[in-house]
Amino acid sequence: MRKLGFIGLGIMGRPMAKNLLKAGFSLTVFNRSKGAVEELVNEGALSADSPKEVALTSEGVITMLPDSPDVEEVILGKNGVILGARPGSVVIDMSSINPLVTKNVAEELKKHGVAMLDAPVSGGETGAIQGSLAIMAGGDEAVFKECLPIFEALGKNIIRVGGIGAGGFAKLVNQIIVALNIAAVGESFSLGVKAGLDPQTLYHAIRGGLAGSSVLDAKTPMIMGRNFKPGFKINLHLKDLNNALSTAKDLDLPLPLTGIVQQILISLFANGRGELDHSAIATFFENVGRVEIKSIINGQ
């Protein structure tokens, strides 16, 4: 499978599409914002005027979209992928959406002889650029194996976690852990700063112990450097926690810590911080504690 379509050229989708071109795949792209399309065309991609047109020219179509309604519209809606996809082709949704929606979309595609994988990712913009994303895939094992070369152009840790929808559930688990970790960093470092500790010294003191984590290493320098340029936006993380709580309700499962952090994200969104990187979760604790997690050593 070498002729692919790619729909959704945002912060994550654009570098992912570029990596597919670099890996030698033929790519037809569609995006509502035309600037991103022009950028990809300049690098060798073809452009299409609709998701349907993307599917008509592709053996497989990748979608990387903000939320469940966007995926439903692009795949099943007017001029959607389903109207152009040929029997035997594959749709790979790499968005982070409600897994129950994923299952419904997959059922509709199956009626047309089209297979589907859900394969959300973790690693943020940096991972998308470097081609080092973690990919959590759900769907038929044979289809997954067929699509493995595509995933290998995009990521390093590629795991099939189960049937269709399993990738989405795995991503919700991932997003809960990441959100709660960032919140823990913000809350705990606020305590340290309030007590008079330098956060940079504190960071180096704890990162080699059990408190060390990828989240600590990725997000603490951003917080200390006051760099909240989005690799993954707060409003998107809020969407993921909303999906986690919604699906947990359907499964009769309480997620009390997730609910608390969701409320923190709602507060940040309401205060105009939804477009900031999710490392800015820490600013909630800074505001209530009247502190700033910023190093005082060498002005850093």
The mean pLDDT of 199-212, rounded to a whole number, is 97
pTM of the model: 0.90
The distance between the two most distant Cα atoms of the chain, rounded to a whole number of Å, is 64
pLDDT digits (tens, 9 = 90+) for 241-279: 999 999 999 999 999 999 999 999 999 999 999 999 999
The mean pLDDT of 184-201, rounded to a whole number, is 97
Q: Is 125 exposed, middle or buried (0-12, 13-18, 19+ CB in 10 A)?
A: middle
The mean pLDDT of 91-116, rounded to a whole number, is 96
pLDDT digits (tens, 9 = 90+) for 13-28: 999 999 999 999 999 9
> Where does the pLDDT of residue 33 fall: very low under 50, low under 70, confident under 90, or very high at 90 and above?
confident
User: What local confidence, expressed as pLDDT, does residue 300 receive?
Assistant: 44
Q: Is 269 exposed, middle or buried (0-12, 13-18, 19+ CB in 10 A)?
A: middle
Domains of the chain, by residue range, sit at: 3-164, 169-299
> Quick one: DSSP state of residue 165?
T
Of 181, 190, 238, 244, the residue nearest 213 (C-alpha): 181
Q: Is 107 exposed, middle or buried (0-12, 13-18, 19+ CB in 10 A)?
A: exposed
> Where does the pLDDT of residue 297 fall: very low under 50, low under 70, confident under 90, or very high at 90 and above?
low
For domain 3-164, the CATH class is: alpha beta
Distance CA 35, CA 11 (A): 13
pLDDT digits (tens, 9 = 90+) for 140-159: 999 999 999 999 999 999 99
CA dihedral 211→206→290→229, nearest 10 degrees, is -80
Q: What is the DSSP string of 174-191?
A: HHHHHHHHHHHHHHHHHH
| Structure tokens, 242 | 């909303």
Distance CA 294, CA 299 (A): 9
Of 25, 299, 291, the residue nearest 152 (C-alpha): 25
CA dihedral 145→146→152→155, nearest 10 degrees, is -70
The percent of residues above 70 in pLDDT, for the chain, comes to: 98
Tally of CA atoms within 13 A in the half-sphere of 47 that contains its CB: 15
The CATH number of the structural domain formed by 169-299 is 1.10.1040.10
| pLDDT over 90 at 295, yes or no | no
pLDDT digits (tens, 9 = 90+) for 47-76: 999 999 999 999 999 999 999 999 999 999
The percent of residues above 90 in pLDDT, for the chain, comes to: 94
User: Hey, which residues are catalytic here?
Assistant: 171
Classify 113 as helix, strand or coil.
coil
